[in-house]
Chain A
């Protein structure tokens, strides 16, 4: 496992995901990807599901990757990486590896659409089969690449292009699916949540390093604030991510062996959820008097979940 001590040293890592890609200015996807890729010195083979990251980092005739990379489709990043990992095993068994001296790690990236929704089956299958890979969900809570439609990661009340606010609608009706826990329930040896942030850079980098060095299927759900679809200014990306954590809308925790839960960051004082919601255009309508109950519902959900996490941590289950 790469020893991640301080940022000054970490910043000596040569980037293996490069600029010149076409992600929006201020896009969190690439902040997350850079940290994950930099969290190991091993060679990497990466698969990526269709979505913003894929579309913007491999527009022919350009690639932004300094590592081996494949995109097949929207729903099969996990299946693709299982195939590549199986080939690695087969060739090692047969003494036919291309570079005997290199150790290779396998990582898959998918958006929330490619992970929570259409790609969930292939992720579940790959996790259950026990392939040795890290899957990172870039969770921007919508189908950003196709114009901001809802996904099962879209939170309550959010305006998306398929759950628009309207005269008789307050936006998304469902709560966000708890994918991190679902992946833990697969018995994955390591599962964690993370955000792109200067304050929590080490949280993400350490989790990625841990996940990559853990043998077996590991999963990181990284909240990826989306300037374009959440509607905030590009320079605010990391600040919004920090607010998600400080309000406990998106708590930082990790789970080992499917059950050992540890909260990796505890806000000194939990900030009211309004401070997170009010910063994003997608929630603007919630501040109308008739939608006050949704904010209350939000706060209740956040409090309950935070409480649940703390009790689980305490109980060691």
Chain B
């Protein structure tokens, strides 16, 4: 992941007209080095959301509300043969730790909780509040 500083080039090599291509390989949707998807805002965070798959009901509220498109989704087919999104994780390169996802998570014991950045995710899962 190149930082802007590392990408700095000379005047004769800048992008023509400052036009940025989204994809390096459009057919396979491989995003280019110019895509912010390949940039990290992780250092904006002091707290991070941790995701507990065991409690999640796949309502996808977190997916629709996350301002930073962090939720990694897997397309699955449900019992009635309809496609649906299953949350499989959080892209921590993109997460700024705003806490919106935690706020909107509707499970009785939240499936998403904020933890200090330094706490390991496995450790966080161990500290999860238990059902009464």
**A interface residues with partner B (beta carbon < 8 Å):** 7-12, 14-15, 17-31, 34-35, 57-67, 196-198, 201, 233-239
Contacts and interface: CB of A to CB of B under 8 A. Distances in A.
Contacts of B78: 8
A58 B20 contact: yes
A25 B97 contact: yes
B28 interface: no
Given A20-B94, A25-B97, A235-B100, A65 B22 contact: yes
Nearest to B1: A20
Contact of A62 (B20, B64, B91, B104): B20
13 contacts: A7-B60, A9-B85, A11-B63, A11-B64, A12-B85, A19-B95, A20-B36, A25-B98, A30-B68, A34-B69, A58-B20, A66-B23, A66-B29
Contacts of A15: 69
B50 interface: no
Interface string B62-87: 01111111100101001000111100
B59 interface: yes
Contacts of B40: 20
Contact of A198 (B33, B82, B95, B104): B104
B41 A22 contact: yes
A272 to B, nearest CB: 23
B39 A20 contact: yes
Given A9-B82, A9-B83, A26-B98, A196 B35 contact: no
A194 B6 CA distance: 41
A207 to B, nearest CB: 14
Contacts of A14: 29
B99 A26 contact: yes
Contacts of B44: 25
A199 to B, nearest CB: 9
B35 to A, nearest CB: 6
Given A8-B84, A20-B93, A26 B34 contact: no
Given A12-B73, A20-B40, A28 B85 contact: no
A14 B99 CA distance: 22
A168 B28 CA distance: 61
Nearest to A197: B65
Contact of A12 (B35, B83, B104): B83
Contacts of A197: 65
Contacts of B97: 25
